[in-house]
Structure 1
């Protein structure tokens, strides 16, 4: 993926009007200096979603959703990062830059996409030409419209059908091998990887073919499913079969149903359940979980009801749990023995399958049921065992109402109370909905005041003259303050929203988010005076810290000539500062 310079992103966000972008999708009402609406990312009755034109970011006091215009498009329009950047760039007339090296790399990538698309077209032609493959499709009851929508094809029997059709020279052969379409035997001979299989192209988020899945036609053949190997374009732990088609069927997905096989996806689609996707022969990964929730707020995992199905469901739960932000829901549907979504939907239709989804087990219920399977909750020992099992898993859930309720349920089952809240020095994300807005800001230290002011108006850092001697001060928050000042100097056009995005995966993100959402009294001139005064006081504290060090050394072992000169100079500077 091409790397877009930070300076371009800052300029793009500075030129983009986040109020206009959000308002086109979610009607906003002005409230003082900001705009408000009911949050589009979770259900609520009152407007706790705010958009700040000065800070160029949005924040929901209910579910904690926040970000810039880019992240809003990613979350609301379900766009990938580069697509969101392209969308904003088109709006403001900017061209997304990519350097020469990246353009060369992109050229090689384009050739891979072209090779895979050519293979997909080849397989589709072979399906039309093969009586055996067409008979199998008809026997499985797959409609021509579904064959077309999912671009289903057929890899002919034999070792050289694709190779002879597309590998016309050494360069093409190498390209098709890089695309994962060939295998090689011990003697070095290259042959088609997929043979006598129904072929399901796997698409990326932009609808481009990146890999294939092949299903046997003859029941005696094995393996039943064969996927492309990992390539430069395809990583099975990050992709979902059918997601592209699901997004084409609905621009705003309300749910996604995760099933195990390609045939399950196409059968459900044929009966009107167009939100089905499948993992690619692997357990649900954290990347899968993030991709699922990025595209829909509700995710249903559909598995067999046997031991293997429940083990797969638990692996999915482990990947989903750290991503259960407020507004997201996960459910588990276990099917009767011997049944799969394909057979169920053909017997019961879309209405019957939908009824099963409505009766699916919520994540919370499945979580506690699994962990309490061999626990006697009538004894203190059993309750303690359940609490210890749950504790590390519950700690992974993001702060919010769901985390609180899961902890509350554990307390109901075991009597073990929630942990005491963390010290305020870490400024944890607020758990009570709406408590951040309208509440008086806590009294802040000089460091916290300086950081809060920088988040209100980042360009204040440009008023400081380097070097930043305050960075040597040994106080909590000083390294973060120094990093913020350096960041603004490096990216002078950066706004509050982009700063929060910069620290988005860092430990400090929650504290910065909390400070950024506070409305400080006064205007720009007053903020500047307060910021410069705070920084001047921090500089004096730094001077005093070094003076104390030298005076301690003087008492312990004496000072050399250089130390004495430094101490005199520092005392003079401190006197002048007063």
Structure 2
């Protein structure tokens, strides 16, 4: 639907963004200035304790410095209420007292029909709930009692009972509801063979399914007859109901997430109800099928990192593995999944009843990141005792993360998987070399060594070795110069940071000044005025780091710094960031070469050194201006003099130990 010119501007002018946002947040009175319309609060889009969510009433925009959520009043309503653009307009227009422009007649007709169908479902729900409380619902009530569902829980989740036969169809007719509309609502079915219509739900416990706005869009039904063709049955897909785009308990779960709870995704209706009874209000379930892309997007609107609670049996793991493949192309910075694997043979309902809420909380607290489950899928039950099998693992891991669109996320996945691979393969080598030797201890995130011994020799101290072997003074200075050029180009060419976000977020500055400047530049990446950007950077980091950055002679002669030009700046940033990545990649390769040097037999050292040298050559191929001095060793390796001398000294040092 198109809106009249000026309607949105008038709507925004009539509303105070502070009032719109204030319904969902608690303002930080110490940090906020209500008189100037400058307000701060903990962000409603991600769980935090500090007030990093900023509302500028004058400009009508909000921005979170934590999760980077941003927008105006319409965006805020869309995101917090999980509604469409036009639905958000309607909500705000009612609040502002503005009449909604006339809809397109066809669109209005569809909206009216949706409302009618929802009312028919409400009528069916009243009928089902009444039947549960009457004599015909005795067996259903007994079943719910055996499952431990309290009467107040039945009321909360509006549990009902659909009797056998066509009692609902008759009741709806008595209320003046046509058979055709009842069929369209999904509570009555019509056979293709021309037979008379009949109740879709018969002899089943019913679970109302509501959308995020609370509209009753369909039902789930649990068969009381153990011989029924389907134990659980969802309503047919109709105008009002698309099971691939709906979640059971959506609205209450969203409210629970708003209170800081972690979103949990369970398998079925009874699991959700059991979790809610135990205090886990932010729990949803897909509707009888594997999680779809649309459901995943709905989950991420509620929580940045939903926890998928799956049964620990083979079927549960298969579902988790399928979800990994679905989620990979959709991953974004800050948006991921964790997996809580329950004890085999137990679902959340059974675990809570057997061991209490604390046991379920313990499972959720131990939820694994997606990368860990990916590793489990590719390695569990497999033996990697040959080069071919190891190469096959490498290929499967590369194929698994290839769909990730965000380069930064893909890079981090690659780093973590590389560390896991290192632990798997190097641990095996250490055991094979053993002869009483102690296996290396490996700690993720703390480097590749954590004490330990190799072969029969004594432990080789590694503190300081990497620094002396890999980071020479000239190269560190070159890195600093490149970082300074990158930061200065970003400063002098506002808005260009948006073209390089993934590379910049992956950059690891060498100094505190550079780290502070980079953070400030990314925070204000959307500012397009040079003076405004400089002012914001000064406010964030102070004058000192900025003056030191711009005082570098190498920075001052950089073309897009002397004379800002977007095209030249893009070329400069592309080149400098690529060289930084290549140089640091070569250092990482040398680091791994050092690991093998310390762990492998002497005849294996040459191959690793060649790999390191080749990586260095690639890193320095386009750096003729650096005039780095290289020597060629007898075996053809190209290494800097400092590196060659350091490796030689190390070999001389450990040679006596290897001869023992």
Q: What interval of TM-score do these two structures reach, taking the shorter chain for normalisation?
A: 0.5 to 0.7
- 1:133 corresponds to: 140
SS at match of 1:393: coil
Aligned residue among 387, 390, 393 for 2:403: 393
User: How many Å separate the matches in 1 of 2:144 and 2:2?
Assistant: 43
Alignment partner, residue 106 of structure 1: 111
> Does residue 346 of the first structure (1) align with residue 353 of the second (2)?
yes
For the residues of structure 1 that align with 2:175 and 2:44, how far apart are their CA atoms?
Answer: 53
2:629 is matched with which residue?
none
Give the one of 364, 373, 391 matched to 1:366. 373
Structure 2 Cα separation of the partners of residues 30 and 322 of structure 1: 42
1:250–1:515 CA distance, 2 compared to 1 (3 A):
closer
1:114-193 aligned within 5 A: 114-129=119-134, 130=136, 131-158=138-165, 160-168=166-174, 172-185=178-191, 186-193=193-200
Cα deviation per residue 1:469-495 (whole Å; 9 max; x = unaligned)?
xxxxxxxxxxxxxxxxxxxxxxxxxxx
Cα distance change of structure 1 residues 60 and 407 upon mapping to structure 2, 3 Å threshold: farther
**How far off is 1:62 after superposition?**
4.6
2:554 match? none
- For residues 260 and 83 of structure 2, the distance between their equivalents in structure 1, rounded to whole angstroms, comes to 13
1:298 equivalenced with 2:305 (yes/no):
yes
Contact kept in structure 2, 1:43 and 1:327, CA below 8 Å:
no
Q: Distance in 2 between matches of 1:409 and 1:183?
A: 52
Query: Which residue of the other structure, out of 469, 493, 500, is the alignment partner of 1:428?
Result: 500
Measured after TM superposition, the shift of residue 311 of structure 1 is 1.9
- Specify the alignment match of 1:544 in structure 2: none
Alignment of 1:23-172 (within 5 A): 25=25, 26-27=27-28, 29=32, 39-42=43-46, 49-52=53-56, 55-76=59-80, 81-82=85-86, 84-99=88-103, 101=105, 102-129=107-134, 130=136, 131-158=138-165, 160-168=166-174, 172=178
Deviates most, 423-432 or 85-94: 423-432
Indicate how the Cα distance of structure 1 residues 56 and 265 shifts in structure 2: closer, same or farther if over 3 A, else same: same
Cα contact 1:298–1:330 (8 A) shared by 2: yes
Check the 8 A contact 2:159/2:205 in 1, yes or no: yes
Matching residue of 2:478: none
Superposition RMSD on alpha carbons, in Å? 3.7
Q: In the alignment, what sits opposite 1:222?
A: 229
Instruction: Give the Cα–Cα distance (whole angstroms) in 1 for the partners of residues 412 and 37 of structure 2.
Output: 34
Between Structure 1 and Structure 2, whose CA radius of gyration is higher? Answer: 2
Counterpart in 2 of 1:497? none
1:266 aligns with 2:273: yes
- CA distance 1:207–1:434, shift in 2 (3 Å): farther
SS of aligned partner of 2:122: helix
Q: Give the aligned partner of residue 449 of structure 1.
A: none
The TM-score normalised by the length of structure 2 is 0.59
What is the CA–CA distance in structure 1 between the aligned matches of 2:164 and 2:326, rounded to whole Å? 39
| Alpha-carbon separation, structure 1, partners of 2:532 and 2:498 | 26
Q: More displaced, 190-199 or 107-116? A: 107-116
Q: Compared with structure 1, are the counterparts of its residues 199 and 57 closer, same or farther at alpha carbon in structure 2 (3 Å cutoff)? A: same
Q: Give the Å deviation of 1:82.
A: 4.9
Cα distance change on mapping 1:261 and 1:97 into 2, 3 Å: same
Shift of residue 363, structure 1, vs aligned partner: 1.8
Report SS of the residue matched to 1:234. Answer: coil
> Which of 263-272 and 190-199 deviates more?
263-272
Is the 1:253–1:275 contact (alpha carbons within 8 Å) kept by the matching residues of 2? no
**Is the 8 Å Cα contact of residues 18 and 56 (structure 1) preserved in structure 2?**
yes
2:548 maps to none
Provide closer, same or farther for how the CA distance between residues 271 and 20 of structure 1 changes in structure 2, counting only shifts above 3 A: closer
Deviation sequence 1:20-56 (CA, Å, 0-9, x none): 5446724464799977666554467987655455653
For 2:402 and 2:5, the matched residues in 1 are separated by: 37
- DSSP-derived class of the 2:217 partner: strand
The residue aligned with 1:199 is: 206
- In 2, distance between residues paired with 1:92 and 1:319? 41
User: How far is the alpha carbon of 1:328 from its aligned partner?
Assistant: 3.9
Going from structure 1 to structure 2, the CA distance change for 1:37 and 1:327 (only over 3 Å counts) comes to: farther
What secondary structure sits across from 1:202 in the alignment? strand
Give the total of aligned pairs.
Answer: 440
Higher helix share: 2
Matched, 1:18 2:90: no
Provide the C-alpha distance between the structure 2 equivalents of 1:282 and 1:154, rounded to a whole number of angstroms.
23
Contact 1:242 1:277 in 2 (8 A): yes
- CA deviation after TM superposition for structure 1 residue 256, in Å: 1.7
Per the alignment, do residues 351 and 48 of structure 1 end up closer, same or farther by CA in structure 2, a change over 3 Å counting? Answer: closer
Cα 1:365–1:116 shift into 2, 3 Å: same
Aligned-partner Cα distance in 2 for 1:271–1:391: 37
Q: Say which SS state the counterpart of residue 133 (structure 2) adopts.
A: helix
Q: Report if the CA contact (8 A) 1:202-1:211 is conserved.
A: yes
Gaps of 5+ in 1: 416-420, 441-512, 524-578
Structure 2 distance, partners of 1:122, 1:434, is: 63
Deviations 1:221-250 (A, max 9, x none): 221011101011100011111122334667
Instruction: List alignment gaps of at least 5 residues for structure 2.
Output: 423-485, 491-495, 506-514, 534-660
Q: Could you say if the C-alpha distance between residues 21 and 343 of structure 1 is closer, same or farther in structure 2, counting changes exceeding 3 Å?
A: same
- What is the Cα deviation at residue 267 of structure 1? 2.1
| Cα distance in 1, alignment partners of residues 88 and 385 from structure 2 | 50
Pair 171,48 (structure 1): closer, same or farther in 2 beyond 3 Å: closer
Distance 1:183 1:347, change over 3 A: same
TM-score by length of 1: 0.67
* Cα distance change, pair 79–413 in 1 and its aligned pair in 2 (3 A): same
Q: Contact between 1:51 and 1:57, CA under 8 Å: does it hold in 2?
A: yes
